[in-house]
Structures are given as C-alpha cells and as structure tokens.
Amino acid sequence: MDDARPSPELDELIATVTGQVERLTLDRFDHDDAWLLGTSLVELARSRGLPVVVDVRRPDHVLFHASLAGTVPDNDTWVERKSRATLRFGAPSFLLGLRARARGTTFAAQTGLPEQEYAAHGGSFPLVVRHVGVIGAVTVSGLPQADDHALVVEALEAFVAGRRP
C-alpha cells in the first residue's frame, strides 16, 4: 500500500468507532446477558431479513451462536477469525482494519498474524465491563463489513440503554 496520508473520512470513521467503544461499556455481563444480546441481534436481523450468523463468546467459551437463513459455513469461519482478532487486541475488528489502512498497510502485514486465523473486518465488537476490561466479543457475519459492524453497534446501544432493539 502507499504511504499517502489517510483521508479525513477515514480519520473521522476511526474516531466514530473509537467513540462507540468508549460509549458501549457494560456494568456487568453474564450468561443471561449473552442470551439477551444474542437473541436481540437475531430478532433485529430477522425483522430485516438479514442472512447473518450471530455469536457471543468469552475467550474460550461460546455463550450464544445462531445461523439465520441464507448463511453458509464460511460465515462461521469469519466469526471465528473476527472474534479472535477482537479478543486478542480488545478492539472492534472493524477498527483494527481501519487503523491498519490509515497507516498505509494491512492488518496481516502490520501484525504478522495469519489471515486464516485473524480477520480485521467489521462485525466483531469487544464486550467491555467497567472496572474489569474486555471479557468477550459479540460478532456478526454475513453482510458487508461496515453493515456487520453497524448491526452489532445498534444492538449493543439498545442493550446498554436497557431495551431490546
């Protein structure tokens, strides 16, 4: 990639996603919360006819997983790769890719991590508990990356506000 200065639009998008992380901090998160967030995402996707996989997990424990009509096994692979990146770096997978692009490189080149295991594409968001840190990730796969990210953020915003999307 070239060393050109990132565009103002890219800088603004990075700032927006960074702000989302700061705003969407949770007071707590347990198995029941994983079920509520996961089912809320499924309901939101179904209401729009979206073919997505929804996944909520802790680093070594899947708490919720659903594959809606129109998804394929490759979506599960994307969930694994995106959530692995989010959990390793404690940041949305979308933000990881945007930051690399702003530096004129790719996430894989920047980190040296295998692309078969890590993906810095939108759709995975860290579950951050106040005074604890990152305890898990919520991930969606099946749409263009910005749309995957936006769907997760919409559901998390409703979850944090105490209402179902």
Q: Which domains does the chain have, with CATH numbers?
A: 8-160 (3.30.450.150)
Q: Lowest mean pLDDT: which of 6-10, 44-48, 92-96, 147-151?
A: 6-10
Displacement of CA 105 from its chain's centroid (Å): 21
- pLDDT number for residue 7: 87
**Per residue in 112-131, is it b (16+ CB within 10 Å) or e — as a string?**
ebeeeebbbbbbbbbbbbee
Confidence of residue 103 (pLDDT cuts 50, 70, 90): very high
Question: pLDDT: is 92 or 7 the higher one?
Answer: 92
Cα radius of gyration (the chain) = 15
| Residue 140 three-state SS | strand
- pLDDT number for residue 1: 45
pTM of the predicted protein model: 0.93
Judge whether residue 163 has pLDDT over 90.
Answer: no
